Structures are given as structure tokens and as C-alpha cells.
Amino acid sequence: MINKKSVELFKTANTLFPGGVNSPVRAFKSVGGTPVFIKRGKGSRIWDADDNEYIDFCCSWGPLILGHANDKVIEKISETIVNGTSFGAPTELENKLAELIISNHDYLEKIRFVSSGTEAVMSAIRLARGVTGKDKIIKFDGCYHGHVDSLLVNAGSGLATFGTSSSAGVPESFANETIVLPLNDIMAVKETLKKYANKIAAIIIEPVPANNGLLLQSKEFLFCLQCLCKTYGVLLIFDEVISGFRIGFSGAAGLYGIKPDIITFGKIIGGGLPVGAYGGSSEIMSNIAPQGNVYQAGTLSGNPVAMAAGLEQLSQCLQPGFYDKINSLCKYFTDSLNEFSLSKNYPFKMFAMGSIFWMAFSTQEEINAASQIDAASMEYFKKLYHFLLEQGIYFGPSGYEVGFISAAHSQADIDEAIVKIKMGLDFVFEK
Ligand SMILES: *Cc1c(COP(=O)(O)O)cnc(C)c1O
């Protein structure tokens, strides 16, 4: 594979950006080599600066559930943009997107648009603190919630209950407001709430944890979280920045039939443009300024061009059979490869939920906590990654990241990928 232009561009980028990128995982640190610079995308395919073509399973890390440059999304963006890009005043498009979401989502009465998933989570945490008058939050090891200060926190060592920051620049006093617990362990939650409930504002969880492998949780665990939250006067926040509008229109909340107090969104909601949102009942949301006293604002919030893109994308998601189609394609993809891997006795297993999948280099039947992931197995991913890149298959460049099937992926795309991944697995394990 010729990657001359990408190499040159990355060299220049390194003189301009820390690590040559504007978001860390793009730098290929965990797989090694030079990131491919993307020039163009259409449907399931992307092309890099050297004109290599790939089937894309990263899909911009999730937002592109319709694939790249969907004709109608582009049309709506174009129609809207000629009338101006931003006003800092209300527009009808905000109403339209909110109406579409609220009338089709099972658990929302009011929402607020922001510009990223991180911003949505940060605001949701402030709202929970404002509503409860309490400061501490519980998060789970293996869940990612954006780069919010108080959530860049690791579990404390040993019996220490309060977290330690996982990034320089996060004051220990902030990290101390966060308690980190293992996923899928209801006793740990119960005991923590028993001790500290009078200090805890919220429990935040990715109901389908998809940022550190795909750590599927039992419905019972999520259901018990909700019950415990009710018992102890703690708010439950579902961070559905990935799972929202992905695991069906009502996300994981809809799938599991659990109504959290606050839900956060990002990724898919903006049709590929920068949008986030958080929402819940009218009562809870009434605490947000200017109606209430929890302050939160944004110059570009509800941006009309982004609203138009989100509106078109979510409208397409609501077409009958939309989710069935991508979900069954994903199931076919992962079932086929799991069957192959089993027949060859390879330590490789794909996990899936809806149209999200994860390739684990493991023989474990289930992986539902961060501690079950073997860091050494990432060496296999690295080998497979570069083999597949050469073959024209693009994944997010880290073995801890999930992949996505979009509505633009065809049966033929999936079959092509299956053949190449099988070759890749033979290459990785038979050497
Ligand atoms: C991507 C993600 C975020 C952060 O969203 P950004 O738009 O990158 O700020 C937060 N939470 C979850 C669950 C995510 O997947």
C-alpha cells in the first residue's frame, strides 16, 4: 500500500498539532505506523490522500449511521447553509429536531442541544448536582464519558473509595468527587450507596459500554441501578452518546425498558455535524437556565446547519425496518466470523449489540468488565489491523474501540470484509 501522501501530511501535522492530531486515538499510537489521512467518503467507503479505498467500519466513531455523504443529508445541509450558518437566536429547525426526537423517543419530555458529547455529559452532571444539592458521582471502570474533568478518573487503589485522576491537569479535589466502581457488580453499588448516598448526586453509566471494548451489561444490573437510585435519592444518568439512536431510536433505555433521569446524546444526533444533547422529564429539565438556576449556554448550540443534518439523519432512522436491517447485517457479520474462529480454535470472538461490534482476542464466553480484557491480546489486534488496512478494510485504530455497521454497508461489503478478516486471522494465528 502506498501511503506517501499520508506520511507527508502527518509530518506537517506534527508541526501544527500536539501528536499531529486533534483527537488522540487518531494518531495510531496503539497500532503503530502512520495514520491514513482521509480525503473523501461515500456510502460505506472512504478514500485516503493516496487514493487507497477502504470499506469503513469506523464511521467517524459512530455518528455516520447512514454512511458517508448521504445524498439527502447533504441536500438538507446545502439547502440550509445558503441562508446563513449561525444566528445565535432561535430557529425553527431546533423545534423540528426536538419535536422529532421527543415524539419518537420513549423517555424524553424536554431536551437541550449542545455541541458535543462531552458538553452534554458535563451539563448533565451539573444538572444532577443542581437538582440534588449533592456533589459526588459514581462512574464505572471501563466507561468513557468524554473529557469532562471529574470523569477522567480511575478507580482508587485497593480499598480507597475515591478516584484518582487519569489525566494531568485534573485536580485531585475534582477526582475526589468521583467514585469509580466495577461494571456489572451490583453489590459494590449497593455498599457504596449505603455509605455515601447523602453525598452522591448521580450514577452515570454507558448502558451499553462501548468505549473500552463492548462490555455488555445484564438487564438485571441496569434495572437494579435504577431501583437503588430511587431508593437512595440519587439520579441515574444514561450516557447514550454512542448507543442513542443506534440501539433502536430510544437507545439502550428503550431496549432495556429503563427510564433514567437524564440521558445524554451526541454522535448520531447531529447527522455527522457537531451536536450533543441532554434531556429528561420536563420537571428535571426545568432546572436548566433560563427556566431554572443551573447555568448552561452555548454560542453555536442548536446550530441550524447541524440541526438540518440531524433532522434528516434521524428521519431516515425512523423508516420502518431501518434498525432491523443494520442489526441483522451486523449479526450475520459477527456470527460468520465467530463460527470461523471457533472452527479454527482461534482466541478470537466478536461481540455485538445492534449495529455495534467489537473484536476481542479472547476465548471468554462473556466480557462485561474492564478487568476481563487482557492488554497483551492487543498485539494480535495490531497485526490484524495492518493486514486489513492493506486489504482495504478500515477500523478505528485501537483494539479497545468498537466498530459500526451503517445503512450504507451492503451484503457484498460485509461478505468482502468477512473473507478478508478470515485471511487476516489465519495470518495472525498461523504464523
Ligand atoms: C464519544 C462519547 C462521548 C464524548 O463525545 P464527544 O462528542 O467526543 O465529546 C461521551 N460519552 C460517550 C459514551 C461517548 O461514546
Give me the pLDDT at residue 159, please: 53
**Residue 329 and residue 344: Cα distance in Å, rounded?**
23
**Residue 134 and residue 153: Cα distance in Å, rounded?**
19
- Whether residues 225 and 152 share a domain: the answer is yes
Ligand 1 atom nearest to CA at 117: 5
Ligand 1 center to residue 210 CA distance, Å?
10
- Domain residue limits at 269: 71-317
- Whether residues 147 and 42 share a domain: the answer is no
Give me the pLDDT at residue 431, please: 64
Give me the pLDDT at residue 276, please: 98
Instruction: Give the residue from 48, 58, 57 showing the smallest Cα distance to 3.
Output: 48
In the listed set 295, 317, 339, which residue is the last one of a domain according to the structure? Answer: 317
Q: Ligand 1 pocket: which of 121, 147, 149, 214 to mutate (most atoms <8 Å of CB)?
A: 121
- Whether residues 258 and 360 share a domain: the answer is no
- Whether residues 177 and 299 share a domain: the answer is yes
Strand (E) or helix (H) holding 56: strand 53-56
DSSP symbol at 68: B
Whether the ω angle into residue 207 lies within 30 degrees of 0, i.e. cis, is no
| Residues of the chain predicted below pLDDT 70 | 157-161, 431
Residue 48 carries which side chain, given as an amino acid letter?
A: D
Q: Measuring CA to CA, how many Å separate 241 from each of 9, 118, 222, 327?
A: 31, 9, 17, 18
DSSP for 87-106, written as a single string = -SS--HHHHHHHHHHHHHST
- Whether residues 97 and 30 share a domain: the answer is no
Which amino acids bring their CB within 6 angstroms of ligand 1? 116-118, 121, 144-146, 206, 211, 239, 241-242, 266, 276
Q: Measuring CA to CA, how many Å separate 10 from each of 4, 6, 7, 19?
A: 10, 6, 5, 9
- Whether residues 58 and 87 share a domain: the answer is no
Strand (E) or helix (H) holding 359: strand 356-360
- Whether residues 248 and 166 share a domain: the answer is yes
What the block records as the C-alpha cell of 198 is 447523602
- Whether residues 248 and 264 share a domain: the answer is yes
In the listed set 268, 286, 317, which residue is the last one of a domain according to the structure? Answer: 317
- Whether residues 146 and 203 share a domain: the answer is yes
Query: Domain total for the chain?
Result: 2
DSSP for 128-180, written as a single string = HHHHH---EEEEEET----S-GGGSEEPPSTT--B-EESSTTS-HHHHTTEEE
Ligand 1 center to residue 227 CA distance, Å?
26
Give me the CATH number covering residue 348. 3.90.1150.10
- Whether residues 65 and 75 share a domain: the answer is no
Give me the pLDDT at residue 369, please: 94
- Whether residues 290 and 382 share a domain: the answer is no
Would you name the residues annotated as active-site residues? 144, 239, 267
Give me the CATH number covering residue 233. 3.40.640.10
Ligand 1 atom nearest to CA at 266: 7
Ligand 1 center to residue 116 CA distance, Å?
7
Q: Ligand 1 pocket: which of 25, 267, 268, 353 to mutate (most atoms <8 Å of CB)?
A: 267
Q: Whose CA is nearest to atom 11 of ligand 1?
A: 145
Q: Ligand 1 pocket: which of 115, 125, 242 to mutate (most atoms <8 Å of CB)?
A: 242
Phi, psi (deg, nearest 5) at residue 168: -60, 150
In the listed set 317, 335, 351, which residue is the last one of a domain according to the structure? Answer: 317
- Quote the pTM value: 0.97
- Whether residues 341 and 260 share a domain: the answer is no
Ligand 1 center to residue 276 CA distance, Å?
9
Give me the pLDDT at residue 158, please: 58
